[in-house]
Copies of this chain bind each other. A is one copy, B any other.
Amino acid sequence: MIFERVRSEGLAHISYFLGSDKEATVIDPRRDCQVYLELARRNEMKIQHIFETHRNEDYVIGSRELAHFTGAIIYHGPGLNFKYGETMKDGQGFSFGKMKLTAIHTPGHTDESMSYTLVDPKLGDQPIIVFTGDTLFVGDVGRIDLYGQVEAPRLAANLYDSIFNKILPLGDGVILCPAHGTGSVCGGSISEREQSTLGLERLHNPALQKTKEDFIKFKVAERFERPPYFRTMEQYNLEGPPPLESLPDPPPLSPREFQKRMKPGAVVVDTRTPSAFGGAHIAESYHIWLRGLPMFAGWLLPYDKPILLVLENREHLEMAVRYLVRLGYDNVEGYLCGGVEACGLEAWYEKAIPTEHLGLLTVQELKTRLDRSDDLIVLDVRSENEWNEGHIGGALHIYVGHLEERLNELPVDRPIAVICKVGNRASLGASILRRASRREVYTVLGGMMAWQKADYSVT
């Protein structure tokens, strides 16, 4: 049997390619699906089934894309009116090569959530692996807030029942294969460790140590961010996302062409490092560092405008495009061309087109200015949880995802130092403030990690 985990970093998404004899199955494929085709090709297999664990909300599901290339049949859980694929029933069985897969209805994260057990008939009916989607993670369980506060208690109860009545009884020795690893927006406490079993989770997963009542209370009280792009993902994944065929290949743009396309309203996204962005950047650009795209593009970028990229170098293009199409942004019109392997911004400034800069503060410099009782405002853009664990006294708090809509809460005409954990989100926040014409804006390099390392006090 072939068993391959396919990780999509950034989203911390995990999909699975399973094969036996000449037949293969994919669970929760991603949209840039060449990876599965290549696995099938290399193993001389034919992908026949595609299983979704649920209507995902954090990325575009690649089922239709993969079905387009393979003719495989797509299967969904019951109770949601998908516009493509087929609906399964609880307990329905499938086979590929010598292996069997059984669908188990495990509502909770969403109503139609499914898990799948893998059975090797040689060993009888006992499953070897269970694929749990967003129901059970390593060290955490799925979020239940997606239907709103009213539905949350019902979903939490369903989730508890799915886990305790359907999944854990499969046996301690069963290997756990969830849809997300650490860093996903779909679970706040997913473990860094990827390997687990039902036995290990039963003993160590904090959420599974509670009574049903406590479990429900705990889950209902949890607070997660819900980026606005989730709505688009849900719609895409329900109706079937637009076909992609191949990864877009945006052209290099000369500064002149770049400027021409900026005019009618394209959005500029600068994916370089905070110090490079702080040093010089194009006016009005968002700063989203390369590996921040999967997490923050969906908070800020509109789906109806073209996107223009400013990259550290050409090698980053494919990664940036890949991150964006996974969120459904298929409209990258080009990237600022800086000549082969050079940063695009050089091309820009050698044409005497003005750039802007941001202040960059070390934590020592920040401390000095705060001690001088400067009128500097510290704006902390970390999540609520991070803020609650300790922050600089007197700082304001707005999560970076909400900053654009809450700009009016910030005093006008005072300098603002934006801080996060290490500096990336701060730089994004600073770019949002600069887009809103705030004059004196600083990014704190090193953020709260450096602040605490320097032994400055936190509240």
Measured CB to CB, the residues of A under 8 A from B are 1, 3, 22, 41-44, 46, 120, 123-124, 126, 128-129, 171-175, 192-204, 246, 249, 251-252, 254, 272-281, 291, 312-315, 337, 339-343, 345-346, 349-352, 354-355, 357, 360, 362-364, 422-423, 445-447, 449-451, 453-454
Q: Would you give the shortest CB distance from A201 to chain B, in whole angstroms?
A: 8
Which of the residues B349, B360, B454 comes within 8 Å of A279, measured between beta carbons?
A: B360
Give the distance in Å from the alpha carbon of A232 to the alpha carbon of B199 in the complex: 42
Q: For A22, what are the chain B residues with a Cβ–Cβ distance below 8 Å?
A: 252, 254, 337
Tell me whether A446 and B197 are in contact in the complex, defined as CB-CB below 8 angstroms, given that A172-B173, A279-B279, A340-B43 are known contacts.
Answer: no
Of B3, B352, B449, which one neighbours A363 at CB under 8 angstroms? B352
Chain B residues closer than 8 Å to A357, beta-carbon distance: 279, 360
Closest residue of chain B to A357, judged by CB?
B360
Q: Cα distance A38–B440 when bound, in Å?
A: 44
Cβ contact within 8 Å between A423 and B360: no
- Give the shortest distance, in Å, between A56 (CB) and chain B (any CB): 25
A128 touches B44 (CB 8 A): no
Q: Say yes or no: A340 contacts B126, CB within 8 Å.
A: no
Closest-CB distance, A182 to chain B (whole angstroms): 10
A280–B279 Cα distance when bound, in Å, is 8
A209, chain B: closest CB distance, angstroms: 12
- Given known A-B contacts A44-B340, A194-B3, A313-B312, A126 and B200 have beta carbons under 8 A apart: yes
CA distance A204 to B128 in the complex (A): 11
Residue contacts A-B, CB under 8 angstroms, 22 given: A3-B194, A123-B204, A124-B204, A126-B203, A128-B193, A172-B172, A173-B202, A174-B199, A246-B246, A273-B276, A273-B312, A275-B276, A278-B280, A280-B362, A280-B445, A291-B341, A349-B423, A352-B446, A352-B449, A352-B454, A355-B445, A357-B360
